[in-house]
Amino acid sequence: MLAADTNVWARALLEDDKAQAAKAKAALAQARSAGGIFVPLLVLAELSWVLRSRWEREKVIDTLDGMLRTRGVQVESPALARKSLDAARSGTAGFADHLIAEISFAAGANEILTFDKAFARQPRVRRLH
C-alpha cells in the first residue's frame, strides 16, 4: 500500500497543471490497483482547504465523499471521516472543522474551543469572545 501527499491528490483533482495532473492520476490509479492507497485524515483536511479555495462547498464534500467510496482507497478512520462529511454536508462549518471535532470527541474531549462563528453553532463547540 502507498500513501500520497495532499499535493498529489490536489493536482489530480484540480488539473491546474496538466503535466503534474497526468502524473498524479496515473500514480494514483496504479497505486489503487496494486495494493491500494492510504489517505491520512490530515490529507483529507488539507485537501478540503485546497479544493475549497477553488470549488464550491458542495463539490468539495462530494469529491471527498467519492474518495471514501473509491475501490482501492483506504481512508484513516473511515467512520470519523464519514461523520465529518455528513456533518459538513448538513451544517455551516467546514469539513476540516467537523473533522477536528470528531477526532477530538473520539479521543475523549468534551468540548471544542474556537473563534469561528459558524463552527461554534455546532453542539459541544464553544466560541471564545
Asked if 107 and 121 sit in the same domain, the reply is yes
Q: 120 lies in which domain range?
A: 78-129
Cβ neighbours for 27, distance < 8 A, ≥ 6 positions apart:
4, 8
- d(C-alpha 37, C-alpha 9), whole Å: 11
pLDDT at position 19, please?
98
pLDDT at 91: 80
| Prediction pTM value | 0.91
How many structural domains are present in the chain? Answer: 2
**Does residue 101 surpass a pLDDT of 90?**
yes
Q: Beta 37-39 vs 2-3: how paired, if at all?
A: parallel
Same-domain check for residues 45 and 21: yes
Do both 89 and 32 map to the same domain? no
- Residues 84 and 67 occupy one common structural domain: no
Q: Is residue 87 domain-shared with residue 65, that is, in the same domain?
A: no
Is there a single domain that holds both residue 38 and residue 20?
yes
Distance CA 114, CA 116 (A): 5
For the stretch 41-87, pLDDT in tens is 999 999 999 999 999 999 999 999 999 999 999 999 999 999 999 99
